[in-house]
Amino acid sequence: MRDGRPSILIVEDDAQLAGQLKWALAKEYKVAHAGSRDSAIQSLRSGAPDLVLLDLCLPPGNVPDEGFRVLEEAKAKKLTVVVMSALEEREPALRAIERGAYDFFVKPVDMHALRIVIHRALERQALERENRMLRERLRKGFKPGGLVGNSAAMREVYDAIHRVADSPLTVTIRGESGTGKSLVARAIHEAGVRSEKPFVPVHCAALPETLLEAELFGHEKGAFTGASHVRVGRFEAASGGTLFLDELGCLDQTIQIKLLRVLEERSVERLGANRSKPVDVRLIVATNENLEEKVRRRELREDFFFRVMVFPILVPPLRDRIEDVPLLAEHFLTELCEARGAPVKRLSEDARVELISHDWPGNVRELRNLIETAALVCDGETIGAEHLKRIPFRGRAEQARAGINGEGFKAAVEAYERQVLEEAIRAAGGVKAKAARALELDPGQMKYLVRKYDL
């Protein structure tokens, strides 16, 4: 409704009772009145109130069948109906429930009980409407937060996003590098009740351990050398919204302990401060590491592990949803061409076959980079297999397959990843920052990989 209040249609032939109901409900609801079967049906056909309060015995016949006609009209429009009946009309009221009415109450009207019934009915209606909308979106392949894919594996991710979006639970997003964990985190935030509040991402691996604590919790002026002013930490900046910690496995145990305290006490203490500040933050974390193994090696505190591992979501690698590759490729191609103001190119059938034959060790990130390069290589409107063959990506899948030798796909990919890093560092004269630039890795990614392979 225009004024934001739910609308109620009172269908009641007793003008005095209808007037009392309108007066009692007008502050909370937008109220209209119909005094007969025909006027009620006309009102329902010209508009859709949120709830119908229905007396069964209506003119012209003044028998329950007149009310049942109105009930059928309301249910055809999927409206919520609450039946009013006199004590001697209890049996028709129960039949109305069987035919789809939400509830009934007996005259004379107890306004307190009526308000409770109306409130619950509208709550249920809102929930049913939301469920219908979500089912319809899923049926049509709805993708929250810019995520793309119709595979069964991705539909499980979408379902998890919608289940946890409005919950305050801590979410741990797991998956290989390049699978889109940050997109899932943002989708959870945007689908939930905190969507109008800040979404604050922190890439833990990109920050030195000496700065990460101050970055998360903030600091007072003079808290340490160089602290020339007060700094608000990411927890305070995200208050009311969502804090997303990417690469959780990089946190040292000192920060793990402080994070535990923040999560338990819902307050944060800046470095150099002598008192805590309350924060209302929904925490989402992501990792591509085996956290259970890190607990076993005592690199991750067990109490911290169980505190964050409340609602895990696994983002599947691209090789496990290979049917989504053409859809993702077309999405990236359209997005890239539109961003450049260029005509949108398309993929030929042989290019699609070429794409789905690849193992995609770099996951969605690798696919996006490939499509961006292919769009530059192709001068025409259609990207064919011949354009992809000009880009050195086929060999990576073949090299990974050839290198398995009984060790499994993951071991082969890691062996190749280590080899590429070693060669890049060697070519850069041992300067890892230069090697990172050559490999188009950001400092956080390079730091993580160097640590992972002990280079």
Tell whether the model's pLDDT for residue 318 goes beyond 60.
yes
Q: Give the residue numbers spanning the domain of 333.
A: 318-398
In a domain, residue 143? The reply is no
Tell whether the model's pLDDT for residue 141 goes beyond 60.
no
Going by pLDDT thresholds of 50, 70 and 90, the confidence category of residue 137 is: low
Going by pLDDT thresholds of 50, 70 and 90, the confidence category of residue 343 is: confident
In order of 200, 348, 374, the CA distances from 329 in angstroms are 29, 11, 11
129 shares a domain with 93: yes
Tell whether the model's pLDDT for residue 299 goes beyond 70.
yes
Mean pLDDT for 92-105 is 87
268 shares a domain with 367: no
Mean pLDDT for 267-273 is 83
Percent of the residues in the chain that have a pLDDT greater than 90, as a whole number = 33
The values of phi and psi at residue 345, to 5°, are -85, 165
In a domain, residue 358? The reply is yes
Output the domain CATH number for residue 373: 1.10.8.60
Output the domain CATH number for residue 46: 3.40.50.2300
- Mean of the per-residue pLDDT values of the chain: 84
**Contact (CB, 8 A) for 211 and 173:** no
- CA angle (305 as vertex; 304, 306 as ends), nearest 5: 95
127 shares a domain with 14: yes
Please tell me the distance from the alpha carbon of residue 266 to that of residue 193, in angstroms, as a whole number: 19
294 shares a domain with 159: yes
304 shares a domain with 281: yes
In a domain, residue 1? The reply is no
pLDDT at residue number 95? 87
Half-sphere exposure of 327 (CA within 13 A, CB side): 14
Mean pLDDT for 427-437 is 81
* Amino acid type, 159: D
Buried b (16+ CB within 10 A) or exposed e, 167-182: eeebbbbbbbbbbbbb
Tell whether the model's pLDDT for residue 214 goes beyond 70.
yes
* Amino acid type, 44: L
325 shares a domain with 245: no
331 shares a domain with 226: no
Strand partners, 346: 382
The residue length of the chain stands at: 455
307 shares a domain with 191: yes
pLDDT at residue number 404? 44
pTM: 0.58
pLDDT at residue number 145? 64
Tell whether the model's pLDDT for residue 118 goes beyond 80.
yes
